Structures are given as C-alpha cells and as structure tokens.
Structure 1
Amino acid sequence: MSNWFTIATALSSALIRIASFIFLRWIPGHVFPPVILACSGIYISSTVLLLGPANEESGEATRTEKSRTKLRKQDASERGFLSALLIGVPSKKNVFTTALNIFINLALTGFTLDFLYRGRVLYPTDELAFSRIGYVSPTTANLLVREPHVANFPVTIKYQEATHSDSDYWTEEGKIYQLNAAKDFTFPVTIKNLKPSTQYRYTLSNNQTGTFITAPQSGTQSANRLSFLTSSCIKPNYPYSAFSHPLRILGLEQVSHAIKKLPSLNRLSFMLFLGDFIYIDVPLRHGSSLDEYRAEYRRVYSSPSWHEPADERPIDLPWIHTMDDHEIANDWDKGNMTHPYPEAADPFNLYHV
C-alpha cells in the first residue's frame, strides 16, 4: 500500500509544481486552480499516511515485497538532495528535504489562492472614487467621474491652462449634485470651449485632479503628425508576484516609463486600447451578474499603477476602447444581445467615455 502512497505523493507534487508555474507565470487558465487544489489535498493526505505509524505496520507486512523491489526502488534519504527535492516524496530519514518539499508545495498552493482572492477580499472597490480623461477633440475633453460618497456632493469641476500659475484662475465647468447605483455612481462630463493643442489641468472638489492635452485643429501644422499607442489585455498582478499589490498592472507602469523617454515630437495623443480591458472569466468566473461585471472594471481602475509615475500618469492619457471577448466571455462570438452581453455592455459603456 505504501507504494501507492509514494506514487500518489510524487505525481501530486509534480502536478502542483508544473500547474502552478503555468498558472502563475504563463497562462492563468480556469482549469489550473482545481488541479492545483485537488493535487494539494492528495499530496497532504498521502504525505501524512507515508509518515504515519500505520505505514510502518504496513511496511512490516510487506517486507517480502520490498525485498523483491529493493534494486528498483530507493528511499528518499538515499537519493541525492536535488533528486529528492524534485520527486517530492517524504522520508522520515531526511527531515530537511521532507520539510522543504512540503513547504514548496503548500507555498505554491497558497500563491494560487492569493492570486485568486487577495484582491477581491482585501481590496473591495465599492468605495472607489476616481476621474479619468476619455476622448479629446480640439475644443472639448470628456471626463469620467466616479463618486459614491454622499458627503462629497456637490462635486465641482474646474479647469485651467497648465501654464497658469495663479491658483485662483480656474474656469468652472459645472457641478454634479448626486450620483446613484443605477449608473454605478459614474457621470461623464464634457469640458468645453478649450483651445487646440493646449495642455490643461482639472480639479474636482472631491480632491481628484489630472491633466490632459487637447487635439490639434484639423488643417494646422501640428495636425500633420499624430502619434498614438495601442495595447490590449489587462490582468492585475500578472505574471503573479507575491510581493506586488494584488491590483498592480505592471504593463501600465512600463508604458508610462516608455512614454517618458519619447521625444516631444512623438508626444502621444491617445491610447487605442484593443480590448480585454477586463478578464471576467480568468482565472475564474465568480458570476455573470451586472454587479460582478461592474466590480471587474472598478478593480482595474483601483490599481495604483494608474497613478505612477506622478509626472506621466496613465490615467491622464486619453483612452479609446474597443470591446473584445473577455469583456463578455472567452471566445464570445455569438453576435447577439443575449445574456451575459447586456450585463457586460453596461459597465463598458459607463466607464469608457
């Protein structure tokens, strides 16, 4: 019987390590968490049985069988350190290697659970308040505002040219008097009467601030050259790192640092984001309700990466979005309005202005 436990331990250990590497660093597919968790349960159970007193009694009863297979099988303590570490089979004679194997496999299982749930549990997004720039024209700029706190209303929107140093020289665009759950506490604001090719800063009375640059006027010299950025696919904290904020988006930070290195001649006008802004079904689909889809967008916008570095924040670059499959469901190609499309389209339209 101990041979079966040994095989189960070795196989489950190997599957935990292979599946965890693929899941946490390469492909966060939904098939991997059940495999990792199931193998972890098998590994723990078989390890306990191999190290327990019952296995010693079984060993006495099968001494003859062990003698016949002695040339083919070795105890973990007789193997080299690396070999024992790779196989993952515990041994009472090699306590250090056994403890290290158990630690590695339990740590990988813990990393899997951490990736799945730390962001959801420890960083709820219902209270998220933020603002971001959307589409800009030569004379207008769309601004998305989310404010769920009643005490902060009315929210006053003001703006000024970035060259102005007088803190009192602001133009008031308007006020938002209340928001509600029907629109997930969001509201699109259009700032009007702007100058083409001009940098502005804006401020809200709820302490949200930002900057933007208007588009060049058609037919002018500055309109002859246009630079923009394209990208797609956002999944917070992926590839996974146990030491990162669970909502960190490394790609955003890399984009910001790359933008800072561009010459002024290639100043970016906007980001054309080509879909998969959220992954509702990766690594696990937690639901298909309207609230679940909205929460996924809030999680992305809760990332601290939107605000780093302070002098070139991704949140200040105009973003224009297209919808891909993972905003709805993997490989969505039905081309109709059936569930869950309405639930998926709602926050896509609310959060993209």
Structure 2
Amino acid sequence: MPTILGAAQTASSVLLRLGTYIFLRIIPGAILSTVLPILFLVYLFSFTVEKLVRLSGRQSESESADIVDAKYTQDGAETKLDATDVIGVTVKTVPSSVTISTILFNLPTLAPWAKAIGFLINLACIAMVADFVARPFYETHEDLVFTRVGAVYHDAAKIVVRYPRPSEGLRIVWKQMDGTGMLAYSDSDESGWVDGPSLDLKAEDDWVGVTRLDSLWASTRYQYRLATLNSTLLPYPATPIIFRTFPDPRLPGSHFKFIATSCLLPNFPYNPLAPTTRLEGFRLLKQQLDSTSTGSTPPGISIPTQGATVEIAAPAVSAEPQLTPNAVEPSNSSALPVHQAPATETNHSSQIPVVRTETEISSPLPFIGTRHSASFVPTEFMIFMGDFIYADVPYFIGDSRESYNRLYRRTYASEEFRQVYEQLPVLNIYDDHEFKNDFEGRSNDSTYLFANASAAFSTYQGNANYHTYTDASGRVVNYFDFKYGDVAFFILDTRRYRSVTGRNTTEEETPTILGERQLADFHQWAARVNSTAAFKFIISSVPVSALWGGPNGQVDTWAGALEERRVFLDLLEYIPNVIILSGDRHEFAAVEYITGAREFSIRQATPLNQFYIPFFKTFDIKNGQTRKIKYVVKEEVNRSVTEFEIVEQIPEEKILAYLPSGNHKWGTFEVDTTNASSPTVTLELSIDGAKAWTHTIVGKPVKYTGSTALGTQIAQISGSIKGMLGRLGKIFG
C-alpha cells in the first residue's frame, strides 16, 4: 500500500503541475478546468491516507529508509537482514536524499520538509486555477464608469457612456478644437462647452447608453466631457475625450492608419500578481501608438500645469435627441453639414452656470491629435474582429444576460484597455465566444444563447457601430459598412445566419456563413463601392481561407461552406483592390487568392489577449482548394499550326506569410490613396510588441464615378465656407 500511495502522489502531482502550466500559460481549455481539481483530489486523498497510516503505526519509517550494516552473528556465521527481518533490532538508518527532482516531481521521500514543500506547490497550483476560473463569477465590476467613441462619420460621432445609478440625468458637453489644435485649457476660454444630447441610462441596459453628436465638420478635432443636466462637469473623465471626424466620403485621397485585431482573455497568460483585468496586449499596443506619435506634445497644444483651475463657460444651445438603438441612420452625404455655433447671448433665466473644476493632465495626448510633422500619419480607429469576451473560457459563465454583461464590464474595467479606448474609436463585431464556442445562429433568433448574448453585445458594442442595414422586419442587423474618405469597409456577421455542413445542417440545407439577405446586401455594397472607393476592406470574424486545419479549421471557417465561398470569391474577381481581414485563428497568416484579393488573418491571445499553442500548427497548403483553368497553346510544325486546349488544376491560394507564435498580435494598416494612380496599403504586423512582418500592396488605379468625382469641388466649397465662418467668429466673438 505505501508503494501505491507514493506512486499516486507522484503521478497526480506531475500531471497537476504540468496541466496547471498548460491551463494558465498555453491554453485555458474547459476540459482542464475539470480535470485539474480531480487530480488535486487524488493527490490529497493519497497524501492524507499515507499520513494516517504512518500515524497509526502500521508502517515504520525504517521501511522506507536505507538500512546500512543490519546484520547479526550466530555460531560464528554472519547473516545480513532486510527491512522485513528487523523487528526489535536497532539498526543504523540514513534518511532518503532530497534532490531537485524530488521536489519537482514530488518523488517519495521521508524528509518532512520536502513533503511539505510538495504539498504547498500543489496547493498553489489548484489555488491559481481556482482563482483564474472563479474570477468572472464573483468580480462583477458593477460600479464601472467609462465612456468611449464608437462610429465616427464626416459630420457626426457616436458616444458610449456607462454611469451606474446617476442621481440625475447626464448629458454630453462638447466643443470644437481650433485650427491649431488648441485645447483652450485656460481661464480666458471664451468659447465654452456646448450642450450636447442627454442620456437616459437604465438598469435594464446595465446603465449603458449611446448617443450621437451631429452637425460636425469633417476632418475636425472635437472634445467632450460628461456633465449633469445643468452642465456641471462630472469628475469622470478627468480630461476631455478627443476625437476627429472622418473626411468627407465624396473626397478622393486619404492617408491614415487603423488597427485590426481580435480575441481578449483578461490576465492570460496568467500572472497571480497582476490585476485580474490585465490585458497585456493593449499595454503593448499603447506603447506602439505612443512611439509613433514621437512622444512629444503636438505643436500648438497648450497643457496646463498639474492642479490648474479650469474655468469653462457652457452657453446654451439646442441639444440633439438621444440615439434610438434600432434606428437605421440616415445618410447625410448629400448635404454639407450646418455648424451649430454657440449662442453669444443667453437669457438669464436659462443661463448655464460657469463651472470650475480641478484637473490634472497625467496621460499623453490622443493618437488622433494634431500632426507632429508632415510625415506623421494619424491612427484613426480600431476594428475588433470578434471574441471580445470568452463566455465559455475557461469555464462557461452561464447564459443569462447579466452573465454576459459581467464579462463586458470586466474587459472595459481593464486599465490597459481604458488607455486605448478613451483615445481611439473602436468598432466591433462578434464571433463565437461572445456566445459559446463554434456558435451557429441558423437565422433563428430564438436559438439557444442568441437572445441574451446578442442583447449584451448590442448594449456594449453593437449600438455604437454604424447602423446601415435592416432585416425583413425592419430591425437593425449587426453587419454594417462605412467609409473613411475614399476607402470602404464592410463588416460581416458570420454567426447569426451561419448553418455549416458537418455539424448542424441537414442534407437538404445548403451550408451558409452569411445567409441569403446578408449576401445580397454585400453584393449591392460591392457594386456601389466598386468605382467610388480606392480600397475595399472586408472584415470577416472567421477566415475565408480554406488552408486552416486543426479540430475545426475545415468547419468553423469559410471552408465549411465551399459553395457560398466560391460565389463570394468569384464576385471579388471583378472588384479591384480588395483586402480581407479576419480573426478567430490564434496564428497569423497572409494569403493571396487567384482573384487578386489578399487576406490577413490576425488574432491575438491576450490580444490582443489569448493563447497560441507553440507545438501545434494548423495552417497548411494541403488543406486548400484548387481551381480548374483552361488555356490554348498553339504549336507550329512544318508550317502547320495546331491548337491544343490544356486544362490544369491550380491552387486557389498562395501563402505570403505564416507566423504562428506569440500571444499578442495586431495589424497596423497605413492606407494612402493620395496618389490615385498608385494607391497603397502597408501592413505592419506586431507580435508581442515587436514588428514582425511588413507587406505593402500597390493597388490598381480607380477611375472614380458618381459623387466621388465631384469631391474636389465640394471640398473647395466646404473649406471656403468653414474658413469664412471661422473668421467671422473671430471678428464678432
């Protein structure tokens, strides 16, 4: 029995420690969250029983000791004894030696201190596992307060606010920054804050509201803060949130950057000493964004000293109504914005008080601030391509709406993420882990998990996106499109309408990723932007590439719906300058299709926080599809020309790069369409904070038609009007 108990302790300890490392540092699989507690119980049982056996006297310490010179002499004959013969005989014993292997593998030993260390190591392992698994259940972050910018237009911007249990109503107050980028932090500020829309925050929406600032100028910086209904500034945010409106989509020529990434799991790889909301990927991303802005204060921006008193006058203007989440947003591209100038006089009965507040500038200015030099290219927004939360990793938290809300609050409570989303607009689309692994909606909103999970997504993410499409009943859907200048984006929903072969489809069903209506809307978008956008970015939460393998690589990606994928790629053959961005995979890959489109699969594992498996690769050209091509070859023999038709099968995709390693991955895309004859997109891939790969795409010239062709004249008119109003403001202000 002692031998069995010792073997059980060693085996369970080795498996527990190895499994803990894999679970907390490599892949936090739900299976391990169940297996590891069982292993600890096996160890604890064998450890306890062995201890009781020793205490009861059924086993002596000498049985496991090294017996030296145990012998007796009888009639001149010397006889050696083994441990079973030594009863009532005093023998010389030497304790078992203890090595590093004894501690590491918890090998049997008589040394009490070594056994104690082994027990504490195993206890620490299971405690860390329990901490990692249980945190989402008891850390609710109910008092979380945050605000961020979502969808940005050339004449408007959406703002998200969470402010739990306000004692009175809230509103946005805002103002335009002047042409030099002055923040106007001074007692002599005469422009003041403009009353923006109010917010109706409700408990059923988890105290989250989304509103919209309208009638803004294109390509202009603005700042906003939160205030009470009488325009008294609230302590959060301590400094204004700054954003810049997009350029007019009718204007050709854009030069900007944006970030694309996916997948977040707080405090992974696990660090017991770090905050449980730690998102290391965002800390690395923030460092990169700060470094690209040269680390200096932009020219023309005045920063007050710490503790400076700020006097802010807030003249009354008409407030915009709060945004209705399920309303499709009207397009304002056909008319120039009308600027809402602050009133110069107010009635004393309705005058808004002057507010004084203490403020400190402790963080760098936003990445979208004033240009530092002619070569500085601003980062304008981030596209997050799904798996923003992990409802089922490391353990399924439950299917209630509050369970999902709790995970969103946990992510927004991250200080690393806060430093990014308070300075950069973020657009989101879900993938499967916002519901559960490999989720399929099957165009049925009553599908298990969909209602509560999608409601939580809409509250925290979807309502802040662009609302450009509706379903047959008129409800806003989660896929959308937008433009930044002359660059077009379409963000696909690859979960709500999915019904993929090999899992849940019947023989009569055709596998689909997009569903019929979304595919039709995508076709219409493609026709609309074909000659009005220099580059077309298509964002898919799962890869279009068929080269992914692994447990679900040929099912969960577009490879699970090959017929629809073929239709999709055939359409792209006739559209120039198409770039596909995708998430989901925990490895980076870049491919080029024979249609000319390129796809970049970018995902991170605490990425910008999630895992990758260093010894398991899932991307292989052998998984790919082929296409049949025909061509005619002419051969002349003896002045006789013969034609031969040759049919070949060629690979549909060509691998440009494959970089599987790294927990933190994101792509920075620099788009430059200022040279219409040679527009470019440059991808800089960052892995664990370092530049890992760079790739430049030189696009084909696009001959603009429609509204974009009139862009130059509109820009001149708009610039003249804006400049004239600005001069009048200085004369009569």
For the residues of structure 2 that align with 1:251 and 1:7, how far apart are their CA atoms?
Answer: 42
Which residue pairs with 1:242 in the alignment? 272
Match of 1:48 in 2: 48
Contact 1:270 1:318 in 2 (8 A): yes
Query: What is the TM-score of this pair, normalised by structure 1?
Result: 0.87
The match for 1:103 is: 120
CA distance in 1, matches of 2:112, 2:416: 43
SS of 1:52's partner is: helix
* The structure with more strand, counted as a fraction of residues: 2
Residue-pair matches, total? 338
Within 2, Cα distance between the matches of 1:56 and 1:350?
Answer: 62
Q: Deviations over 1:231-261 (max 9, x none)?
A: 1001111111111111121111111111112
Give the whole-Å Cα distance in 2 for the aligned partners of 1:100 and 1:111: 16
Partner of 2:143: 127
Q: Please name the residue that 1:147 is paired with.
A: 163
**2:458 aligned partner:** 349
Residues 55-76 of structure 1, C-alpha deviations (whole Å, 9 max, x = no match): 774436x969x9699xxxxx99
Could you tell me which residue of structure 2 aligns to residue 274 of structure 1?
385
Q: Do the aligned partners of 1:158 and 1:202 also contact (CA within 8 Å) in 2?
A: yes
Q: Deviations over 1:106-128 (max 9, x none)?
A: 1111111111224542x422222
Corresponding position: 1:228 with 2:258: yes
Alpha carbons 1:157, 1:174 under 8 Å: kept:
yes
The one-letter code matched in structure 2 to 1:214 is T
Partner of 1:200: 222
Give the whole-Å Cα distance in 2 for the aligned partners of 1:12 and 1:168. 70
The answer to whether the aligner puts 1:315 opposite 2:422 as a matched pair is: yes
Distance 1:77 1:324 in 2: 59
Amino acid at match of 1:50: E
- The one-letter amino acid of 2:2's match is S
Out of 207, 210, 213, the residue aligned to residue 185 of structure 1 is 207
Q: CA deviation at 1:285?
A: 0.9
Name the % identity.
28
Distance 1:2 1:55, change over 3 A: farther
Contact 1:90/1:97 (CA < 8 Å) preserved in 2? no
**Alpha-carbon distance in structure 2 between the residues aligned to 1:99 and 1:76:** 20
Q: CA deviation at 1:219?
A: 4.9
Letter of the 1:43 partner, please give it.
Y
Question: Counterpart of 1:218?
Answer: 249
Aligned counterparts, 1:168-183, within 5 A? 169-176=192-199, 178-183=200-205
The alpha carbon displacement at 1:179 in A equals 2.3
Task: Specify the SS of the correspondent of 2:456.
Answer: helix
Q: Secondary structure at the match of 2:408?
A: helix
TM-superposed deviation, 1:315 = 2.8
Deviations 1:21-62 (A, max 9, x none): 0111111111112222121122122122223344774436x9
- Distance (whole Å) between structure 2 residues aligned to residue 181 and residue 76 of structure 1: 70
- Tell me which residue corresponds to 2:408: 297
Equivalent residue runs for 1:43-82 within 5 Å: 43-54=43-54, 57-59=57-59, 78-82=96-100
Check whether the contact 2:98–2:114 (CA below 8 A) recurs between aligned residues: no
- Does the 8 Å contact 1:138/1:196 carry over to 2? yes
Question: Following the alignment from structure 2 to structure 1, what is the Cα–Cα distance between the partners of residues 95 and 264?
Answer: 46
**Residues 297, 232 of structure 1: CA spacing in aligned structure 2 closer, same or farther, 3 A cutoff?**
same
Structure 1: gaps spanning 5 or more residues:
70-74
Which residue is 2:698 aligned to? Answer: none
Query: Which has the larger share of helix?
Result: 1
Answering whether residue 397 of structure 2 is matched by residue 286 of structure 1, we say yes
Determine the C-alpha separation between the residues in 1 that align with 2:437 and 2:190.
49
SS of the residue aligned with 2:216? Answer: coil
Quick one: distance in 2 between partners of 1:212 and 1:76?
75
CA RMSD of aligned residues (A): 2.7
Aligned-pair distance for 1:278?
0.4
Distance 1:119 1:348 in 2: 17
Of 414, 422, 435, which residue of structure 2 is paired with 1:328?
435
SS at match of 1:150: coil
What secondary structure does 1:78 align onto? coil
Give secondary structure in 1 for the equivalent of 2:4: helix
Q: Which amino acid aligns with 1:42?
A: V
Whole-angstrom CA distance in 1 between matches of 2:99 and 2:9: 17
Instruction: Give, in whole Å, the separation in 1 of the partners of 2:130 and 2:94.
Output: 29
Q: C-alpha separation between the residues in 1 aligned to 2:269 and 2:291? A: 25
Classify the secondary structure of the residue corresponding to 2:173.
strand
| Aligned partners of 1:273 and 1:319 also within 8 Å | yes
Instruction: Quote how far apart the aligned CAs of 1:147 are.
Output: 2.0
CA distance, structure 2, for counterparts of residue 255 and residue 160 of structure 1: 28
Q: Does 1:115 align with 2:132?
A: yes
Write the distance in 1 (CA, Å) between the matches of 2:155 and 2:246.
8
CA-CA distance at 1:214 after TM superposition: 1.4
Distance in 1 of aligned mates of 2:51 and 2:95: 13
1:168 Cα deviation from its structure 2 partner:
6.0
Distance in 2 of aligned mates of 1:267 and 1:217: 17
Q: What secondary structure is seen at the aligned counterpart in 1 of 2:422?
A: helix
Q: Which runs of 5+ in 2 are unaligned?
A: 67-81, 85-92, 228-233, 294-370, 465-733
- Higher Rg: 2
SS of 1:261's partner is: helix
Corresponding residue of 1:23: 23
Alignment-mate amino acid for residue 16 of structure 1 = L
Which residue in the other structure is 1:72 paired with? Answer: none
User: Does the C-alpha gap of structure 1 residues 76 and 112 become closer, same or farther in structure 2, counting only changes over 3 Å?
Assistant: farther
Deviations 1:170-229 (A, max 9, x none): 1111222x42222222211101122222222210024333221211223557x5223110
Moved more, 36-45 or 261-270: 261-270
